[in-house]
Homo-oligomer: A and B are copies of this chain.
Amino acid sequence: MKDTEEIINALLKFRDERDWGQFHNPKDLALAINVEAAELLELFLWKNHDEVNKEKLKEELADVFAFAFLLAEKCGFDVKQIILDKMEINSDKYPLEKSRGTAKKYNEL
């Protein structure tokens, strides 16, 4: 079994044991991703990278992944496929010769 499938299966088992599927509509899952992303961000607030607690970083990043996987599953998306598809789109937005070595956004290139 693919490991993205194993991840999703584990998350669904956890969710269903608690009967939480009823709350997991796409809008609230998108909210949850934002809430978890901000908890991850808070670890870096007023700090440099090297001052961040690595155990907490693991936990907060895991929370972001968890809700992202749950939203993907809810919408029937294949995680690897949507990432590869988006990279193809980004290849057009960020052609090699224009984007190399610059952090500019595509509309400023």
Query: Interface of A with B (CB < 8 Å)?
Result: 2-4, 6-7, 10-11, 14, 17-20, 22-23, 25-28, 30-35, 37-49, 52, 54, 57-59, 61-66, 68-69, 71-72, 75, 77, 79-80, 82-87, 89-91, 94, 96, 99-101, 103
What 6 additional pairs, Cβ within 8 angstroms, besides A7-B83, A14-B91, A62-B82?
A7-B84, A23-B46, A25-B49, A61-B68, A62-B85, A65-B83
Oligomeric state, in copies: 4
The reply to whether B41 and A30 contact each other, CB–CB distance below 8 Å, is yes
The reply to whether B80 and A3 contact each other, CB–CB distance below 8 Å, is yes
Report the nearest B residue to A34, measured CB to CB. B37
